[in-house]
Structure formats: C-alpha cells, structure tokens
Amino acid sequence: MVMPGLAFDKERHRIGYGKGYYDKYLSEHEVKQKVALAFDFQVLDNIPFKDYDINPDLIITEKRRIGTLI
C-alpha cells in the first residue's frame, strides 16, 4: 500500500491529512507492505504521533530510504 503524508520523521511516523482513514483501514485489514513516497524536505527530525498511528515500513525520497520492506 502507498501511504500519503504531509510530513514524516526518521522513525517513520507520519502526519497525514487528519481524518485517520489509513490508520482505521490498516487496523482492520492485513497489509504486508506499506510504503510512503515523499520529498526529502518532508522528513523532519521528529513529529508528534499517537499510539494508534500506523507507520509505513519504508519511506522513499529522492535522496534516501528510511526503513525496510519485509
């Protein structure tokens, strides 16, 4: 699954669009691999997150990869 986001951090937390649709869907369905595509400027040192937020397994930017796939 490709996960959208406005911002990410180096621990793969993400800020989405505020409705929680992806977190709700992923909590109810098994998805083996979750990837986010972003520009490198969208990756911050840290962002706020909740315990129920579901992170992508891998973030790919034009400069780096953060995380790994199964």
Is 1 within the bounds of a domain? no
Catalytic pick among 9, 12, 14, 57: 14
pTM: 0.90
Structural domain that includes position 43:
7-67
- 14 catalytic? Reply is yes
What pLDDT does residue 52 have? 87
Is 41 contained in some domain? yes
Q: For this structure, is 23 an active site residue?
A: yes
Domain count along the chain: 1
CATH number, domain containing residue 31 = 3.40.50.10420
Could you state, in chain order, the average pLDDT of each consecutive group of 10 residues for the chain (70 residues)? 95 89 91 96 95 94 95
Exposed e or buried b per residue across 18-55, where buried means at least 16 C-beta atoms within 10 angstroms of its C-beta? eeeebbeebeeeeeeebebebeeebbeeebeeeeebbb
Residue 14 falls inside a structural domain: yes
Residue 2 placed within a domain: no
Residue 19 within a domain: yes
